[in-house]
């Protein structure tokens, strides 16, 4: 299937995937996968491979099956495919990035699941970007949402009061550039 239908009714596409318009956008799911859902096709790619799986799937359906199968811990953020939706990989990132290769992606919608953050840790940083996401968020709320929806994210590091990144490090390190961090609780 290229894209979900825009009808207000649900339609069944190829391979049993059901697509509905939910008032906010298109949501697609395959009932055989226990309700694992995907947003409609969007231009761009999702960073990072999910579940240590760098395999290439020849169909959207195969990639969705693999993503849903490894998503027990919310590890899979969605799938990214070539522009003709033939070669697909399962991805951990949630922030859609521009693709110079014409890639397209379908994300699994996420909620924050009650995720919270502790107090500020001044002059401390967390090592490594989480979920392959090196996005420099300009709104802390967006960074928190991305962190809450990334299974490897342990917190947020603020480079200054206007730039935030999601991080995977397990311990705080002293920052030579006076970064501040918030740990996910």
In angstroms, rounded to a whole number, what is the distance separating the alpha carbons of residues 40 and 6?
Answer: 10
pLDDT confidence tier of residue 82, bands split at 50, 70 and 90: very high
> What is the pLDDT at residue 175?
95
Q: Say yes or no to pLDDT of 154 above 90.
A: yes
Predicted model pTM: 0.55
Q: How many CB atoms lie within 10 A of CB 9?
A: 8
* Exposure on the CB side of residue 118, measured as CA atoms within 13 A: 12
Q: What is the average pLDDT score of the chain?
A: 79
List the beta strands (DSSP E) in the chain. Answer: 11-12, 18-21, 26-29, 37-39, 42-43, 78-81, 88-91, 104-107, 117-121, 124-126, 155-160, 163-167, 172-174, 180-184
Residues in Cβ contact with 45 at an 8 Å cutoff, skipping those fewer than 6 apart = 80, 91, 96, 97, 99, 101, 103, 105
């Amino acid at each position: 299937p290229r894209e979900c239908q825009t009808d207000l009714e649900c339609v069944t596409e190829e391979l049993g995937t059901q697509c509905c318009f939910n008032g906010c956008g298109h949501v697609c799911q395959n009932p055989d996968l226990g309700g694992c859902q995907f947003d409609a096709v969007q231009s761009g790619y999702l960073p990072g491979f999910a579940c240590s799986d760098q395999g290439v799937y020849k169909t959207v359906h195969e990639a969705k099956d693999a993503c849903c199968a490894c998503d027990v811990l919310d590890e899979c953020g969605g799938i990214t495919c070539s522009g003709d939706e033939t070669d697909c990989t399962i991805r951990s990132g949630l922030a859609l990035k521009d693709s110079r290769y014409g890639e397209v992606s379908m994300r699994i919608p996420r909620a924050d699941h009650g995720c919270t953050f502790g107090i500020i840790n001044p002059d401390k940083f967390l090592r490594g970007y989480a979920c392959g996401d090196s996005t420099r968020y300009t709104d802390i709320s967006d960074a928190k949402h991305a962190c809450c929806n990334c299974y490897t994210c342990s917190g947020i590091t603020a480079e200054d009061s206007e730039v935030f990144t999601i991080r995977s490090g397990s311990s705080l390190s002293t920052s030579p550039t006076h970064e501040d961090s918030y740990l996910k609780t």
